């Protein structure tokens, strides 16, 4: 699974809109949509914010592991 699909899945599992998540990471909905669609690379700093927000490891977001690990 790629990072873009994982971002979308996490957002949908949390029942959040793209606009809500865009606010969390300090960007616009249209930019966030491009992250999910793989049209724009998401900056590492924003991935860290999302990992904290969803309480999952960066390994999970990156698709390196398939079972989410909670942050400590």
CATH number at residue 47: 1.10.260.40
pLDDT digits (tens, 9 = 90+) for 1-22: 688 999 999 999 999 999 999 9
Q: What is the reported pLDDT for 70?
A: 86
- d(CA 59, CA 16) in angstroms, rounded, equals 22
Number of folded domains in the chain?
Answer: 1
Question: Do the domain assignments include residue 72?
Answer: no
* Alpha-carbon distances of 21 from 15, 55, 64, 65, 66, rounded to whole Å: 10, 14, 22, 23, 22
Structure token digits, residue 27: 């960007």
Q: What is the reported pLDDT for 67?
A: 86
Question: Do the domain assignments include residue 71?
Answer: no
Would you say 50 and 61 are in contact if contact means Cβ atoms under 8 Å apart? yes
Question: Do the domain assignments include residue 67?
Answer: no
Question: Do the domain assignments include residue 53?
Answer: yes
Question: Do the domain assignments include residue 70?
Answer: no
pLDDT digits (tens, 9 = 90+) for 16-47: 999 999 999 999 999 999 999 999 999 999 99
Residue 42 sits in which domain range?
3-62
Question: Do the domain assignments include residue 45?
Answer: yes
């Amino acid at each position: 699974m790629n990072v873009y699909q994982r971002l979308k899945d996490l957002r949908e599992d949390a029942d959040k809109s793209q606009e809500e998540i865009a606010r969390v990471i300090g960007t616009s909905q249209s930019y966030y949509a491009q992250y999910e669609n793989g049209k724009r690379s998401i900056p590492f700093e924003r991935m860290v914010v999302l990992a904290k927000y969803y309480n999952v490891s960066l390994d999970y977001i990156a698709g390196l592991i398939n079972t989410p690990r909670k942050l400590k």
